[in-house]
Amino acid sequence: MAVKRQDAWTPDDDMILAEVTLRHIREGGTQLSAFEEVAEKLGRTPAACGFRWNSTVRKKYEAAIQIAKSQRQKRLQERNRNQSHRVKSGEDATGDSLYTIDNIIRFLRQYKNEVAELKRQQKLLEKEIKEKEALLSKLEAENNEMKAHLEHVQSDYRLVNDDYRTLVQIMERARKMALLTEEDEALSKAKFRMEENGNLERLDK
């Protein structure tokens, strides 16, 4: 059983996925069988291989896919010509008819598997979309919360700034009042000394 890996796809991984898938297309196999083979080689799940193919790798190999489909068509035409030749050569037509029915049954089974794989991939994509939407909602909520917090901080800053300016004005007034008080005291002392000096002069006389 393949081990489920969570690491990123490397260019070599993509190359292996492309080579195996193109080979299955060319030989008439299903993409599901290709993804299962790649999953065994790379230690990933078939769903992961299918998702990688359809989301990224397939776009790079559109020309190669068309060539592989063309080769598959040529193989099928060649096989049909061989069958017709055997019938004309007198071989058992019943066997050929059964072989054609087997081809139809095989094709229907392959088609059923491919549809099932596409449904699985669709579910994976829908799950991923839901996860992205949930993440987006979470980020939007966090963004709104951060905006509200920023507005609150800005409001607090304005209040603190106003308080600081008021405090500076009060301190400036207090400093001026202190200077005036000191000047008044100095004047009073000077006046007192002058008065004392005046009294002493009168006593000397």
The pLDDT tens digits of the residues spanning 7-55 come to 889 999 999 999 999 999 988 888 899 999 999 999 999 999 999 999 9
Per residue in 149-171, is it b (16+ CB within 10 Å) or e — as a string?
eeeeeeeeeeeeeeeeeeeeeee
Q: What is the DSSP letter of 56?
A: I
DSSP string, 115-164: HHHHHHHHHHHHHHHHHHHHHHHHHHHHHHHHHHHHHHHHHHHHHHHHHH
The tokens describing 117, both together, are: 């794989």
Res. 92: pLDDT tops 50: no
Q: At what angle do helices 31-42 and 93-204 cross, to 10 degrees?
A: 50
* Amino acid at position 92, single letter: D
Supply angle C-alpha 72, 75, 77, rounded to 5.
110
Please report which confidence band the pLDDT of residue 104 belongs to, taking 50, 70 and 90 as the band edges.
Answer: confident
pLDDT in tens, 60-83: 999 989 998 888 888 888 877 776
In residues, how long is the chain? Answer: 205
Res. 93: pLDDT tops 50: no
Instruction: Write down the pLDDT at residue 45.
Output: 93
- Closest C-alpha to 117, from 65, 21, 49: 49
Instruction: Write down the pLDDT at residue 94.
Output: 45
Looking up tokens 């058992």 gives 92
Cα–Cα distance for residue pair 58/21, rounded to 1 Å: 10
Res. 196: pLDDT tops 90: no
